[in-house]
Amino acid sequence: MILSKNINAIVPLSGGFESMCAAWYAKKNNLNAVAFHVLNQEAAPYTARPQLAAAQKQAEYFDMQLIVDESTIPQVVGVHNQNYPVLQGMSVLAMLVAGNPHIQFKYVVYGANMEDSFRQRLQLRFPMRAVMASQSSQLDMHGVNPDIIAKAPKNIFPFEYLTKSEMIAMIHQSDKELLDMVWCCTGQSGTGRYIIKDDKPCGKCTKCHEWKSARTVAWKSIFKRQEGHIDRGI
Ligand SMILES: [Zn+2]
């Protein structure tokens, strides 16, 4: 498969809320974006499929091409490998940019909010270094071609000044139906896993609580706003 040379942006699409907002932003700004999803059933045996289904629904809604990268590397499932999507995502991002020199990617759009954008910025230094070195055929960053740096895709964080609940209120006002296309549940407890049946969120893990809490904060904002109403959703 050859990607269209008209593509000018990349959106990592996990199936969760923030990355969906990144896709929303790309669409709102008429970027011609391609989305990618990392699938890893070894590390997330119960949530990988519903997460992918959510990402597919979102991509369809935005009429965005979705690339799915599947890892089948054997992994011990536990509480210490929660960040596998970040690691796998770095690799996909690097390969997508380095492997498609016919495309002038202008932006990589992230949905990080004000609570986690800095951490995401730190994580992104290294794949970008790898991409720049690869495109310059160098092993040492001092040898990187200046033209490659000048044309490198920019990581953008359009929502880094908003909280999660404020982003929920934003989407509620713009494209309310999107709030039903989100999969947040990791099913992970402190010591193991909550049971997930029939692709329904467990309602107990940290991410389920975070989602419920943010939706409640947005719903409560009716008391502070002069007009409008945000559905609690849960
Ligand atoms: Zn959950």
pTM of the model: 0.90
Q: How far is the CA of 22 from the centre of ligand 1 (A)?
A: 22
Q: How far is the CA of 207 from the centre of ligand 1 (A)?
A: 6
User: Using CA atoms in the order 24, 223, 162, 185, what is the torsion angle rounded to 10 degrees?
Assistant: -70
Amino acid 38: pLDDT: 96
d(CA 66, CA 62): 10
Q: Is the pLDDT of residue 44 over 60?
A: yes
Q: Is the pLDDT of residue 111 over 70?
A: yes
DSSP 112-164: --TTTHHHHHHHHHHHHHHHHHHHTT-SSGGG--HHHHHTPPEEE-TTTTS-H
pLDDT class for 125, splitting at 50, 70, 90? confident
Q: How far is the CA of 184 from the centre of ligand 1 (A)?
A: 7
Q: How far is the CA of 128 from the centre of ligand 1 (A)?
A: 32
Amino acid 222: pLDDT: 66
Q: How far is the CA of 141 from the centre of ligand 1 (A)?
A: 42
**Average confidence (pLDDT) over 2-27:** 97
Q: Which residue in this structure is represented by tokens 């690339």?
A: 67
Q: Is the pLDDT of residue 39 over 80?
A: yes
Q: Is the pLDDT of residue 23 over 90?
A: yes
Question: Phi and psi dihedrals of 37, rounded to 5?
Answer: -130, 140
Per-residue pLDDT of 171-214, as tens digits, reads: 998 999 999 999 999 888 777 778 888 889 999 998 999 999 99
Amino acid 192: pLDDT: 74
Q: How far is the CA of 205 from the centre of ligand 1 (A)?
A: 4
Amino acid at 164: K
**pLDDT over 90 for what percent of the chain?**
62
d(CA 18, CA 232): 18
Domains in the chain with CATH codes: 9-156 (3.40.50.620), 165-223 (no CATH)
Amino acid 234: pLDDT: 59
